[in-house]
Structure 1
Amino acid sequence: MAIIQTAIKRKEMLLITAVALGTLLNPLNTTMISVALARLQEDFHLTFADVSWLISTYYLISAIGQPLMGKWSDLFGRKKVFILGLLLVTLSSSLAPLSPTFGWLIGFRIIQALGSSALFPSGMGMIRSQITSNQAKALGIISIFSSTSAAFGPSLGGLLLHYGDWPLIFLCNFPFIIASFVLAWKLFPKDPKMVGRAAEMDWWGVALFSSAIFMWLLFFLALADGLSLWKLIVSVGLTFWLYRYELGQSKPFINVAFLRKNMNVTRIYAQFILTNIAFYSIMFGIPSYLQSVQGMDPQKTGLVMLSIAGFSVLVTPLVGRWIDLSGSRPPLIAGTALVAVGSLLLMLIQDNASAVTIFLVLCVLGIANGFNNLSMQTALYDFVTKEETGIASGLFMTSRFIGTILSSSLLAALFGKNITTSHLHSMAWTCAGLGVLMFALTMRMPSRSVQKAIQ
């Protein structure tokens, strides 16, 4: 019996590994490119506002692709969608280094975003169906693994640029793709006979959601040139139309009824959006600033950015123990406060600042990221039932990409024409303000004792 249980646990760990290796491709590729932006500007003769479309389109497709591919995996089979996602990432990673123009590069990044977006929802669904014991823990591991890989992106990207050029950022995906493909092919059970049809998709919901996200993206990207009233009106109108339409659907693309019923979960999503605006503004803004203003090469930039990833990983086990003892709220209070403090410490960075000073300031933001990542993941699962895990996880990732879209818009507004220390300080004040809002939302979160009383 013990041998059988050991074999089952080993198979479950390998299955989790297959999903983890696949799901890290999306967040890793969102941030690896950050160190290459300055190089791409030189290669294709672009401004930062131009090159920011490489970020924005990736986020836009990911925000739409996550829930879309989640629905497809439920309808057509999780293994099929997971393998399809890996094949699309393979295609894009092979062709992107050969891009003759910036437009072609954006096109291949769109394919990459769509393919990598298939991996998280289908992988989460596979874990839910195959792992019955400690399911929430397995789902949490995948989510945390996904978030941590984003923090390591700039450091890995810096090393790749040092030893090669920006095409290596795409080619380095192949070890992860191959390992994930082999494990998934062997371990994922065969999909049951097709249980749905494409006609069952809420295509109007998909169209409204895509249009609303696209219009908000255009609105925020245009803020650098002033407030566009008509874009704001259209964005708000499409959002309200989406809300009213999805409320009346039995199988909605975006389950707004779930959000309205679970206000604590909705607040967590709102906080996660704010968290990602701050995190990705720093992850993309700092590398470009270090290379453009401080004159650092990509390798040194990557090493400095390692402070965020390294300290995120270091504090995660400690945060896990704290959560086990007192729940998600206390460490989340500490994490959101550190976002505000760390952002204000960016004001210490002046022209020709030492690498040590920048490293130490970013360490504070790395600790904040470690606190917020794990605490946000566990807080979400505190307020949803096991049956709601799938939909909650999908909307959680959608919130992440809405935040990343807004971060690219913020950076385009601040760094669009040129990058200076003054612009960095403006970003710091904005992120500090976001930290205060996150702190306020955390204070409204019920404590563990209140949660137990509600349950």
Structure 2
Amino acid sequence: MNARSRWLLISVGLGVLLNPLNSSMISVAIPKLQNVFQLDFTVVSWVIFTFYISSAVAQPVMGKASDLFGRKKIFLAGLVVSFISSLLAPLSPNFGWLIVSRIVQAIGTSMMVAVGMAIVRIHIKEKQATALSVLSIFLSGAAAIGPFVGGVLIQWWDWTVIFIVNIPFVAASFLLAWRAIPKDETPTPAARGMSLRKWFNLIDALGILLFTVALVALLIGLLSAKSSGHVSLGHIIVGGIGLAALGAFVRHELKTTSPFIPLRTFAKYPAMIWVNVQFMLVNVLFYAVFFGVPSYLQMVRHASEFDTGILMLTLGLCSIVISPIAGRWIDKSGPRPALLVSALLMAFGSVWIVTLNQTSPIISVSLALAAFGISNGMNAVGMQATLFNSSPKEMIGVASGLFNTSRYLGTILSSLLTSFVMGEQFSAGGFRLLGVILTVIALALIVMSLRRGSQDN
């Protein structure tokens, strides 16, 4: 790999890491935000919901936009948007302002993730697999160290610094990308002459709108009912709007020629349904722990942000270390054994969470985190391999897009589950109940892994 390729890889890597870094740093800041804005746990959880909903919508949209306007332009624009959000968030006079800043941040960082991999594939010709693996390390490494970085920064300064810390990464990535990423090719005449209406049809703007309205309305209806302790007419109306939008979304996606989520693909290739369902459940489990444990440590165990960040390194480091080992195992034995072991480890970790209380030894928390970290490393490789095995070659692009959508849906559902179980205040009893629910989900994954194995045989 020549020097130009290395600089290009570094410039893209510094940009794409901002999405997982900002999605994970916030996990340590939830208790602090709860105190600063005087809100209950359910309301503060919207700082997580909005980021993942916005990312789930923005990434496929920006991927299509890059084909029309150029990947370098979208990447640099994403850095500018991320810079603006990093300045806006620390100035938040209220929680609503912070939510808007998080939405802007999610859109900006998603612009870079959406095109970063494509830039590397197109412009780095030699040792391409190595380049892509390095880019994956930027992504997974940022997610792994996010809670640690967030814990250290909040301990030394305040919650605002987890946004300010983005600025050096944005500046370095912009300067390097401006020089290292080659200019975009001239758009085709069709792309240059495309009207706004045609572009909206191409990205399925109506489908995106219905999808977003359905998710947000259903979340508001459920969480508002949970917070108030009763179901009112207003909650029913909001939930009804969400269900109506969801029904309209499904109907629209089945009819449109360029769907945001190609639902007909699932009907045509049923094996892909099970892959995406499994991946969604895996992410429900992982992110419930990822966001639940820091709140347990700080609000139940009264640990500092710094100590919480240090302990959360167990989760990320185990995931990073096991990934290459899992890759070699899956190359030899296929994905099924690794996915079965992963499901068993998640079941073990979930049961272990049920046993935790205010005085449990810290090593007990580390064991649960290690179980989920190892399982996450296996799933990162095993689920991707299963996706490729179950998807026809001509559909692999669509399959990858659906796969990412399933991941975001899993993270959203994990946040919803945690908020619904905890309500106004994070408690030891609520955390144990969450462990019981996660155990049931893990057992379902074990059954699904065994069932797929028998079908393969």
Question: Aligned runs of 1:23-172 on 2, under 5 Å?
Answer: 23-131=16-124, 142-143=135-136, 145-172=138-165
- Relative to structure 1, the CA distance from residue 185 to residue 445 in structure 2 (aligned partners, 3 Å threshold; closer, same or farther) is farther
Q: Aligned letter for 1:279?
A: F
Residue of structure 1 in register with 2:404 after alignment: 397
Question: Aligned runs of 1:311-326 on 2, under 5 Å?
Answer: 311-326=318-333
Does residue 208 (structure 1) correspond to residue 205 (structure 2)? The answer is no
Counterpart pick for 1:306 among 295, 308, 313 = 313
- Relative to structure 1, the CA distance from residue 237 to residue 110 in structure 2 (aligned partners, 3 Å threshold; closer, same or farther) is same
Shift of 1:236: 4.2
- Cα distance in 2, alignment partners of residues 186 and 441 from structure 1: 48
Q: Aligned letter for 1:340?
A: A
Shift of 1:353: 2.0
| Runs of 5+ unmatched residues, structure 2 | none
Shift of 1:193: 2.6
The answer as to whether partners of 1:124 and 1:390 remain within 8 angstroms in 2 is no
- Cα distance in 1, alignment partners of residues 273 and 129 from structure 2: 19
TM-score relative to the length of structure 2: 0.89
Aligned length in residues = 443
The answer as to whether partners of 2:356 and 2:365 remain within 8 angstroms in 1 is yes
The answer as to whether partners of 2:151 and 2:305 remain within 8 angstroms in 1 is yes
Shift of 1:169: 0.7
- Relative to structure 1, the CA distance from residue 59 to residue 187 in structure 2 (aligned partners, 3 Å threshold; closer, same or farther) is same
Q: Aligned letter for 2:207?
A: G
Q: Classify the secondary structure of the residue corresponding to 2:183.
A: coil
Residues 315-371 of structure 1: CA distance to partner in whole angstroms, max 9, x if unpaired? 112111111211222211111221111111112211222222222222112111111
The answer as to whether partners of 2:323 and 2:377 remain within 8 angstroms in 1 is yes
Q: Which range is displaced more, 179-188 or 368-377?
A: 179-188
Residue of structure 2 in register with 1:340 after alignment: 347
- Cα distance in 1, alignment partners of residues 456 and 405 from structure 2: 29
- Relative to structure 1, the CA distance from residue 275 to residue 375 in structure 2 (aligned partners, 3 Å threshold; closer, same or farther) is same
Counterpart pick for 1:242 among 243, 249, 253 = 249
Shift of 1:215: 2.8
- Relative to structure 1, the CA distance from residue 432 to residue 253 in structure 2 (aligned partners, 3 Å threshold; closer, same or farther) is same
Residue of structure 2 in register with 1:453 after alignment: none
- Cα distance in 2, alignment partners of residues 369 and 281 from structure 1: 13
Residue of structure 2 in register with 1:279 after alignment: 286
Shift of 1:161: 1.2
Q: Aligned letter for 1:352?
A: T
Q: Classify the secondary structure of the residue corresponding to 2:426.
A: coil
Q: Classify the secondary structure of the residue corresponding to 1:194.
A: coil
Shift of 1:18: 3.2
Q: Which range is displaced more, 388-397 or 99-108?
A: 388-397
Counterpart pick for 2:260 among 240, 243, 253 = 253
Residue of structure 2 in register with 1:428 after alignment: 435
Q: Classify the secondary structure of the residue corresponding to 2:289.
A: helix
Q: Classify the secondary structure of the residue corresponding to 1:378.
A: helix
Q: Aligned letter for 2:84?
A: L
Residue of structure 1 in register with 2:301 after alignment: 294
Q: Which range is displaced more, 383-392 or 111-120?
A: 383-392
Q: Aligned letter for 1:94?
A: L
Question: Aligned runs of 1:343-422 on 2, under 5 Å?
Answer: 343-384=350-391, 388-422=395-429
Residues 221-252 of structure 1: CA distance to partner in whole angstroms, max 9, x if unpaired? 24624676665555444333322322222222
The answer as to whether partners of 2:140 and 2:320 remain within 8 angstroms in 1 is no
- Relative to structure 1, the CA distance from residue 98 to residue 321 in structure 2 (aligned partners, 3 Å threshold; closer, same or farther) is same
Residues 291-315 of structure 1: CA distance to partner in whole angstroms, max 9, x if unpaired? 1111111111111111111111121
- Relative to structure 1, the CA distance from residue 328 to residue 179 in structure 2 (aligned partners, 3 Å threshold; closer, same or farther) is farther
Shift of 1:91: 0.8
The answer as to whether partners of 1:217 and 1:406 remain within 8 angstroms in 2 is no
The answer as to whether partners of 1:326 and 1:448 remain within 8 angstroms in 2 is no
Q: Which range is displaced more, 425-434 or 200-209?
A: 200-209
The answer as to whether partners of 1:136 and 1:381 remain within 8 angstroms in 2 is no
- Relative to structure 1, the CA distance from residue 434 to residue 138 in structure 2 (aligned partners, 3 Å threshold; closer, same or farther) is farther
Measured on the aligned residues, the alpha-carbon RMSD in Å equals 2.6
TM-score relative to the length of structure 1: 0.89
Q: Classify the secondary structure of the residue corresponding to 1:314.
A: helix
Shift of 1:84: 1.0
Shift of 1:282: 1.0
Q: Classify the secondary structure of the residue corresponding to 1:252.
A: coil
The answer as to whether partners of 2:288 and 2:415 remain within 8 angstroms in 1 is yes
- Cα distance in 2, alignment partners of residues 218 and 374 from structure 1: 34
Residue of structure 1 in register with 2:12 after alignment: 19
Shift of 1:386: 5.9
Counterpart pick for 1:185 among 145, 168, 178 = 178
Q: Aligned letter for 1:150?
A: A
Q: Which range is displaced more, 102-111 or 242-251?
A: 242-251
Residue of structure 1 in register with 2:223 after alignment: 221
The answer as to whether partners of 1:140 and 1:378 remain within 8 angstroms in 2 is no
- Relative to structure 1, the CA distance from residue 395 to residue 424 in structure 2 (aligned partners, 3 Å threshold; closer, same or farther) is same
The answer as to whether partners of 2:25 and 2:162 remain within 8 angstroms in 1 is yes
- Relative to structure 1, the CA distance from residue 232 to residue 182 in structure 2 (aligned partners, 3 Å threshold; closer, same or farther) is same
- Cα distance in 1, alignment partners of residues 181 and 140 from structure 2: 24
The answer as to whether partners of 1:66 and 1:397 remain within 8 angstroms in 2 is no
Shift of 1:77: 1.5
Q: Classify the secondary structure of the residue corresponding to 2:45.
A: helix
Q: Which range is displaced more, 436-445 or 293-302?
A: 436-445
- Cα distance in 2, alignment partners of residues 194 and 182 from structure 1: 24
| Runs of 5+ unmatched residues, structure 1 | 1-5, 451-455
